[in-house]
Chain A
């Protein structure tokens, strides 16, 4: 007999497979690693949301911190 309630399909764009146990990238997030950080910015320089990065809350905080440190040191623009 078929189950009464069908499990709904996931509609969000978040990936189901995490890249590491913490859901973070395979290399550490450092404010000096600009090539890596730029992949998580929009063309206008905004930080991508968790929904788009697929990061866990903790890793997203690490990402935010790294980008803001790079901005403070004028390695990255605040806008544009």
Chain B
């Protein structure tokens, strides 16, 4: 009985630099050797690895969907283990091939498609220092609600403490101002009083939250 599998393979960049079809044949050849049928196989990405594997910092990911006999899979994986150009592999049984895979594989098979040459092993992409606001907003939305609440509570309480401290200093300042301009009652003191009134309202909020 043949089963459908999704395979992700980490291929050495040295082989990819020589020839992409040769690198692809490392995997597709192993599948076909054991009586399997490759449905799709494409270059997924070339990226820096999260940690070194066999001294390599960068490698190319190959994503493939194939059918193979259940008994033949261990033999195929043994071949992959022995192949030193395949750094890692992950093979999972799946129900069906995603529709987008066919399109992407066809795009790779087009005549004008060229695989970009992998950069050197020490190449690091320039990280963007300031994230655009849109992406930050979307990332915040995607976060789970519990996390968002938990994180929102912490800064709110921090702000509350900060607000009370700021309010204390402001009230001292306003008292001094009032003493100086008690006779004149200028518009400035009125504004400062308005500020103190605002700060008092902000003081009340964290206390109410604590009572709950």
Contacts and interface: CB of A to CB of B under 8 A. Distances in A.
A58 to B, nearest CB: 16
Interface string A17-39: 10100000100000110011001
B144 A40 contact: yes
Contact of A72 (B47, B88, B139, B144): B88
B158 interface: no
Interface in A46-80: 48, 51-55, 69, 71-78
Chain B contact patch, size range: 20 to 34
Contacts of B10: 73-74
Contact of B90 (A13, A72, A78): A72
Given A39-B139, A73-B8, A73-B10, A14 B146 contact: yes
A52 B50 contact: no
Contact of B142 (A13, A39, A71, A76): A39
B96 interface: no
B143 to A, nearest CB: 5
A52 B146 contact: yes
A15 B88 CA distance: 38
A74 B88 contact: yes
Contacts of B47: 75
Contact of B146 (A25, A31, A53): A53
A46 B146 CA distance: 17
B212 to A, nearest CB: 8
Contacts of A72: 88, 90
Nearest to B143: A39
B146 A13 contact: yes
B120 interface: no
A74 B144 contact: no
B53 interface: yes
Contacts of A15: 144-146, 149
Contacts of A71: 50
Contact of A74 (B50, B63, B149): B50
Contacts of B149: 13, 15
Nearest to B87: A74
Nearest to B92: A69
Contact of A73 (B90, B139, B144, B147): B90
B100 to A, nearest CB: 12
Interface of A: 13-15, 17, 19, 25, 31-32, 35-36, 39-40, 48, 51-55, 69, 71-78
